[in-house]
Homo-oligomer: A and B are copies of this chain.
Amino acid sequence: MSGEGSSRAPYRIALDAMGGDHAPREIVRGALLAAAEYPVDILLVGREEVIRAELAAASAELPPSIEIVDAREVVEMDDTALAPLRRKRNSSVRVCANLVGEGRAAAFVSAGNTGATWTSAKAVMGMIEGVSRPALAAIVPRLHGHTLLLDVGANVDSKPNHLREFAVMGHFYAQMVFGIAEPRVGLLSNGEEEGKGNELTREVFQVLKDTGLNFIGNAEGRDVYNGNADVVVCDGFIGNVVLKASEALGEMIRRTLREELTRSLLRRIGAAISRSAFDDLKKRLDYSEYGGAPLLGVRGGCVVCHGRSSAKAIKNAIRVAADFVQNDIGTKIQQKIGELHSRETAGLLATR
């Protein structure tokens, strides 16, 4: 994101101050970090007195680029996804979506209840023309670099055209976030050969061939982590399962390693000497550099952060949200989907 030399007003990002395991503390601190580092305006949404108390606790004045927007209700993790549309219309996440819907903010960021965020964004902000379903895209680490996996939870029982939309949206997001001109797009399947897959993926395979994207064919589970693809496209059921299994496996390995490294005095000594290596390992596997998972396909930006987000993750999510707006990803998606639709219509007419 380069705001320098730009003559237009900074992007305005709404931030859900009340969502997340460490809200409001880490959220407010993340806003302060972002305000100090990036040319953005932040609308900090939540209970004003709570936000002011956090600012006081952080010994911080409210900087001119942060404005508090009062919202009295809070969506909890055990609320249903529909809560912001029904019982809790004055909740912080719903107010964030309203701000984008009304054009008062260009994007919003939340580390709260993912379902509620998704529902609010879709219902209040609406969809990009031509896109049927929003997709949540996760950025997962590999040995060197990252892979974009989508959808990771917004949709189940996807149809071929949904997966085509995910591929297009993933393509443009990966272009921006990884800085690659032609990201390699793979279709998640149970084998790399063209004939492998289930009913859905075998049909999608043909559809993706005709998109003009850099479609590399089927990607196996291993290709999420081995660098063979930059974007891996799948139905939200499977993406969600893969992401949660991966998180749990990473945590399991971390705990097993810790158990082993603390099993004897000698091992503890060795671990203490090479301690910085473990810190760096943790950093490399940490998702927070990219701040969170974008919800793609809705009008305006929406970044869903991990519930455990730290101030640093929130800061990065704000940067990503602003980048998303600056790069006009929404327009690019709309144009490409429109182009595919017209080509299809032309094809249908030609075969008549």
Residue numbers of A with Cβ under 8 A of B are 141-143, 153, 156-157, 188-191, 197-199, 201, 220-226, 234-238, 240-253, 255-257, 259-261, 263, 266-278, 280-281, 284-285
Contact = CB atoms under 8 A, between A and B. Distances in A.
Contacts of A247: 221-222
Number of copies: 2
Nearest to A140: B249
Given A190-B236, A248-B225, A285 B253 contact: yes
Between A153, A237, A261, the greatest number of chain B beta carbons within 10 A of the residue's beta carbon is seen for A237
Contact of A198 (B156, B201, B270, B272): B156
B277 A260 contact: yes
Nearest to A154: B190
Instruction: Please indicate which of the listed interface residues A243, A249, A252, A256 has the most CB atoms of chain B within 10 Å of its own CB.
Output: A249
Closest 7 CB pairs of A and B: A270-B274, A221-B244, A270-B273, A221-B245, A222-B248, A260-B277, A225-B248
B225 A245 contact: yes
Contacts of A220: 240-241, 244
Nearest to A221: B244
B256 A197 contact: no
Contacts of A190: 153, 156, 236-237, 240-241
B244 A241 contact: no
B256 A198 contact: no
A221 B246 contact: yes
A197 B277 CA distance: 40
Given A221-B241, A221-B243, A224-B245, 5 more contacts: A157-B199, A190-B241, A198-B237, A221-B245, A274-B274
Contacts of A141: 252
B267 A270 contact: no
Nearest to A199: B157
A305 B235 CA distance: 30
Nearest to A156: B198
Contacts of A271: 270, 274, 277
Contact of A249 (B198, B238, B250): B250
Contacts of A245: 221-222, 224-225, 242, 245-246
Given A238-B241, A244-B220, A274 B267 contact: yes
Contact of A277 (B157, B251, B267, B277): B267
Contacts of A198: 156-157, 235, 237
